[in-house]
Amino acid sequence: MYTITPLEKGLENVQGFYCGATNVGMRTNSEDGDVAFIRSEVPSDISAVFTQNKFQAAPIKHFQKYPKNFQTDFVLVNAKNANAMTGEKGVEDIDTLISKLTAKIDVLNPVMASTGVIGYRLPLEKIATAFDTLDFSGKNSDQAARAIMTTDSFKKELAYRVELENEESFHIAAICKGAGMINPAMATMLCFIATDAAVPKEDMDALLAGSTERSFNRISVDGDTSTNDTVLLLANKTSGNYHKEAFKEALEKIMFELAMMILKDGEGANKLVTFEVTGARTEEEARTASVALSNSLLVKTALFGEDPNWGRIASTIGASGIACDDEKLVIHYDDLLIYDAAHRELDKEREKRAYEIMKQASFKVTCDVGMGEGSYTSYGCDLSYEYVKINAEYRT
Amino acid sequence: MYTITPLEKGLENVQGFYCGATNVGMRTNSEDGDVAFIRSEVPSDISAVFTQNKFQAAPIKHFQKYPKNFQTDFVLVNAKNANAMTGEKGVEDIDTLISKLTAKIDVLNPVMASTGVIGYRLPLEKIATAFDTLDFSGKNSDQAARAIMTTDSFKKELAYRVELENEESFHIAAICKGAGMINPAMATMLCFIATDAAVPKEDMDALLAGSTERSFNRISVDGDTSTNDTVLLLANKTSGNYHKEAFKEALEKIMFELAMMILKDGEGANKLVTFEVTGARTEEEARTASVALSNSLLVKTALFGEDPNWGRIASTIGASGIACDDEKLVIHYDDLLIYDAAHRELDKEREKRAYEIMKQASFKVTCDVGMGEGSYTSYGCDLSYEYVKINAEYRT
């Protein structure tokens, strides 16, 4: 028996973690910081999931140079510059920064994460000025969550307390950034999760991979995958308490809720739509169709236009290449039957109800392919004028 | 030796073909027709390429009920209703229409093509009124080309005369519709090609398939594939003349130019961009990367914003999953070196030149992956506010 309770604020809830941020002048358009840190007072185990993009950014290459199962007590993050496509020099730059950091504070195997524009070297001198102003003993999760934002329109942080029996408890909290370029193969996102649970390293790796598959890998904003996507889980074990099922549930909960926050913050998006495909021959075919739906431009623009045009849903399933048959397909919007072989044309009454469902901030499209037992759910959003505006003007 | 000369007007240039259109009241927002026909005075061989969408529209299923290598002398086309996802009834409706047609004119194995909204039965009585008003002995390609348009902003028709030695000649002409939903696996497009060349049926099949691969299958507007995509080639052989190389060149020319017209008419598109990928391990890997580039929303919006952000080009290649290495990648915009391992950051001078290239109505992005000999070229366009507007409001 255990209970999971949401807490106010973020990373400061987790025992033995410090965090904060400062503005070194890379972010010129707001008061928010552009360099953030997360520090543990004792060495932490760390698990990571990185982008599947072949051009991994320098911080990811740098991380992978540490020995397997290394411990760390420091994560440095910067916004505005991705340190991607910067070659071996980009990795050397991180070592240079670390040597400047260690001149100010004693840290163990520090890791770095970056987000921003691709193809420019980090401004090392500028970033190093942060080491004079950051409060390494502060606990300011709000500051850190704001500092890692790029096109995000709101900060993303969550925290939970998990109460076990015998008055034992532990905490898990996270900050996250991500808005556009989200794909069912990770996202332009950074996510830092800290816990004081006494979770064994092997559980960390397995549970982080599983939770990523059921959260960040199921959301789509625009079908692109970035060079920098990173999810880190740090566990300093300071609570001394652990319960595998409870930890798993809390981790899945925090990652799924952060994924939904990213989707709600999809660049210019107004609607969150769940695409459940059932009855496919295999889970893989269900995944193929579900992901095709959440990525389709024609589906996304129909969602934005609140047009109950099920033809685009059906056409996208047909185009995805999975086994299907228009005599067997059944489509629902929420609980409204929108298509089956006996109800092909939308009558006025059903069209009116479909329109009412589509006006909601979130709803569910269910497609039963009727060919087998495979099912998969992914999550998408609409595509608006605002998306085009944000992405046409991103760098300028 | 042969010469290929462009002609004014369209299908009327081809001996023994008649065409035209009328408005039966399905298209209510313009003077253009909504039902068109193409007729040959003698039976023609016909070759076809259809959509790869699993939900093929009723006219495609109807076509496939004819025996292999059947001949026809009549093609009926309607706009505003796709007759897709209409089940067996949709196919029966075509037979009903044909019986009404044959009451007015003697035709051999007539075929049909439709474009428009998915999921509604054809208005048979309305369409049949066309058989009273169509001039089956007229030659009005302009009328026919306009009648098959949906979101097209201009009609698409082309014609060529091919002159051989000994004063022999033949003609090839086509009308075509297509604007959005274009994908490197066909498109929401209909294309009707007529020739009086004495081309053997086996050449027709092979040359049509090859030309489709190098034209309509290489363009992308939004990455979707429709239920109705159809390319038909009709040959009535009335010129009595044929030269395989000349016919192949003329067919490829007409199909490639029509594909470029569709791309220029990409919904809301302003720029035509060629994506050439060279040096991939295999042609298949080059195709994967090239198609990923022409489909990427982030690339498309950067093109619209005229932002020389090569990071999105590189990131898309990395995300496509092909073998690549940032030390070996070389990117050009036209003849301007935009990225290689020795020139990672864009200096002011190159950024200015890149911006000038991107301001053009068309330009070329070349990515040499540096891993092998595989190459592939596809063609894409930018994504503008207008695309979202057109597709959000399509049905309303």
Report, as ranges of residue numbers, the positions in chain A whose pLDDT lies below 70: 180-187, 221-224, 267-268, 385-396
Angle between helices B385-392 and A297-304 (to 10 degrees): 70
Q: What are the pLDDT digits (tens) for B324-370?
A: 999 999 999 999 999 999 988 888 899 899 999 999 989 999 999 99
Residue B65 buriedness (CB in 10 A; 0-12 / 13-18 / 19+): exposed
Cβ-nearest to B388 among A117, A312, A385: A385
pLDDT band at B396 (very low <50, low <70, confident <90, very high): very low
A83 min Cα distance to partner chain B (Å): 11
pLDDT at B302 over 60: yes
Cβ-nearest to B301 among A321, A384, A388: A388
Locus of tokens 């001996």: B15
- pTM over the 0.90 mark: no
Does the beta carbon of A150 lie under 8 angstroms from any beta carbon of chain B?
no
* Residue B59 pLDDT: 98
Does the beta carbon of B269 lie under 8 angstroms from any beta carbon of chain A?
no
Domain borders along chain B are 3-262, 272-392
Q: Under CATH, domain B272-392 is a member of which superfamily? A: ArgJ beta chain, C-terminal domain (3.10.20.340)
B19 min Cα distance to partner chain A (Å): 30
Nearest CA in chain A to B221: A297
Whole-number average pLDDT of chain B: 91
Give buried/exposed letters for A323-360 (b at 16+ CB in 10 A, else e). Answer: ebebeebbbbbbeeebbbbeebebeeebeebbeebbee
Q: What are the pLDDT digits (tens) for B24-55?
A: 999 998 889 999 999 999 999 999 999 888 99
B3-262 and B272-392 in the same fold: no
Does the beta carbon of B319 lie under 8 angstroms from any beta carbon of chain A?
yes
* CB spacing of A227 vs B318 below 8 angstroms: yes
Residue B108 buriedness (CB in 10 A; 0-12 / 13-18 / 19+): middle
Q: Is A133 a catalytic residue?
A: no
* CB spacing of A322 vs B54 below 8 angstroms: yes
- Candidates 3.40.50.720, 3.40.30.10, 3.90.1150.200, 3.60.70.12; correct CATH number of A3-264? 3.60.70.12
A57 min Cα distance to partner chain B (Å): 10
* Residue A385 pLDDT: 67
**Cα–Cα distance measured from residue B232 to residue B66, given in angstroms and rounded to the nearest whole number:** 15
**Complex-level ipTM beyond the 0.95 threshold:** no
Does the beta carbon of A312 lie under 8 angstroms from any beta carbon of chain B?
yes
Catalytic residue among B22, B72, B115, B188: B188
Catalytic residue among A86, A115, A188, A227: A188
* CB spacing of B319 vs A185 below 8 angstroms: yes
* Residue A195 pLDDT: 98
Cβ-nearest to A395 among B222, B309, B383: B309
CATH architecture of B3-262: 4-Layer Sandwich (3.60)
Q: What are the pLDDT digits (tens) for B233-246?
A: 999 999 999 999 99
Does the beta carbon of A227 lie under 8 angstroms from any beta carbon of chain B?
yes
Q: How far does Cα A258 stand from its chain's mean position? A: 6
Instruction: Identify the residue with better confidence: A65 or B182.
Output: A65
Which runs of E-coded beta strand occur in chain A?
3-6, 17-22, 35-50, 71-78, 111-114, 156-163, 169-178, 189-195, 230-235, 272-280, 330-333, 336-339, 362-368, 374-381
Which runs of E-coded beta strand occur in chain B?
3-6, 17-22, 35-50, 71-78, 111-114, 156-163, 169-178, 189-195, 230-235, 272-280, 330-333, 336-339, 362-368, 374-381
Strand, helix or coil at B343? strand
Write the CA distances from B94 to A26, A281, B172, integer angstroms: 65, 32, 28
Residue A190 · residue A230 · CB < 8 Å: yes
pLDDT band at B185 (very low <50, low <70, confident <90, very high): very low
Cβ-nearest to A226 among B310, B315, B327: B315
Instruction: Give which of B55, B267, B270, B277 to mutate to test A binding, by max A Cβ within 10 Å.
Output: B55
